[in-house]
A and B are shown apart, each in its own frame.
Chain A
Amino acid sequence: GAGVSQSPRYKVAKRGQDVALRCDPISGHVSLFWYQQALGQGPEFLTYFQNEAQLDKSGLPSDRFFAERPEGSVSTLKIQRTQQEDSAVYLCASSLISGRVGEQFFGPGTRLTVL
């Protein structure tokens, strides 16, 4: 069906607020990735899910960042007590086959601005 979708597309938060970013991967895709893209930079890995299991969260910058994928489909990235340095585009990607290095399909991203 459709590609990877993310919501909201834009989010403005005041410093200290909590935010939740949603990712709907392509149906049936096993692997799901979150990346953070700062202005003028390439995306940087945050965390990886294989179905509902979070197997790698080595890229999460602090314990204020939390991600979940409870039913192995939709994923939510939550940022608590947002700070200005959290301002970035957050990209979600999914891929069909786990265990093979395949094409990752990216969503349009959520642009987070922390004032």
Chain B
Amino acid sequence: AQKVTQAQTEISVVEKEDVTLDCVYETRDTTYYLFWYKQPPSGELVFLIRRNSFDEQNEISGRYSWNFQKSTSSFNFTITASQVVDSAVYFCALSEALDFGNEKLTFGTGTRLTIIP
């Protein structure tokens, strides 16, 4: 069965510092998808990125970057020059998409990130 582990429960950094959120996953399938979602205090999950298992290229989007390494089953997320608005709970998630159309997500327990002004 699939599993996602986010070992960091809470992280606090001072504004403008860089911060990396760790994500380790387990799956028996060769085709799978990894996601990061942001959950601000309002509670609504916001999609950040999707990555399939065949694409190991790292991705950068503004201050956000993602490092996908199949060899270590990790999909880490880095925020550069953090800002107070980045404060939220961040979830890593996995979908094996084994069944047609059923893209149910398995989430980690989340990392609460606090950016201190």
Using a CB–CB cutoff of 8 Å, the interface residues on chain A facing chain B are: 30-31, 33, 35, 40-45, 48, 50, 55-56, 59, 89, 91, 93, 95, 98-109, 111
Contacts and interface: CB of A to CB of B under 8 A. Distances in A.
Nearest to B100: A99
B42 interface: yes
- Those 7 A-B pairs whose CB atoms lie nearest each other, nearest first: A42-B107, A98-B101, A106-B45, A45-B104, A101-B33, A101-B97, A101-B103
Interface residues of B, number: 27
Given A41-B109, A108-B44, A109-B43, A48 B102 contact: yes
Contacts of B99: 55-56
B105 interface: yes
B69 interface: no
B50 interface: yes
A56 B99 CA distance: 9
A98 B104 CA distance: 11
A102 B108 CA distance: 19
Residue of A42, A45, A99, A103 ringed by the most chain B CB atoms within 10 A: A42
B87 interface: no
B114 interface: no
